[in-house]
Amino acid sequence: DEVATAVMAQGVEIPPGALYGRFSSDNERSVGQVGIGWNDAAALDVIAKAAIEVLQTRNAVYFAQLGGTPATVTILDEPRINPAPPPLTDRFGPLIRIGLGLVAGVALALLAHALDPALRRREDVEALGLPVISSIPKQ
């Protein structure tokens, strides 16, 4: 909520609760990283800078393990805005459609062959109880 308040103070409108679930963090090393996902690059820059401001000024709230002692938050790099990769459906959609088309085509061909009333072999005629008058031998 504090980041959203800081962003709205800079003139960027964010719907209430829109930032929930947009932040990720990595603190496995001695350097922490914060990742933020948003669909507008300009607004994302404002959100990132607001998050930095909140972490630098209100960090005692977020680092409760320090017992209320303020932590020293040093920014090592400026925020980098990277475009998100396209969703999996956009990347694999054409391949899935081609595969489904091939499967449907083979299924329709097998169905057409199974429902075809033509007699092709001598055994087909004999199975119907009809006499075979003549046949063309295979060469």
pLDDT at 99: 97
Indicate if the pLDDT at residue 139 is higher than 90.
no
What are the domain boundaries of the chain? 2-66, 88-127
DSSP class of 131: P
Beta strands (DSSP E) in 21-99 are: 23-26, 33-36
Measure the CA–CA gap between 122 and 25, rounded to whole angstroms.
Answer: 74
Most confident of 13-27, 32-46, 70-84, 102-116: 102-116
pLDDT at 38: 82
**Residue-by-residue DSSP string for 43-112:** HHHHHHHHHHHHHHHSHHHH-GGGTTPPP-----S-----PPPPPHHHHHHHHHHHHHHHHHHHHHHHHH
pLDDT at 105: 98
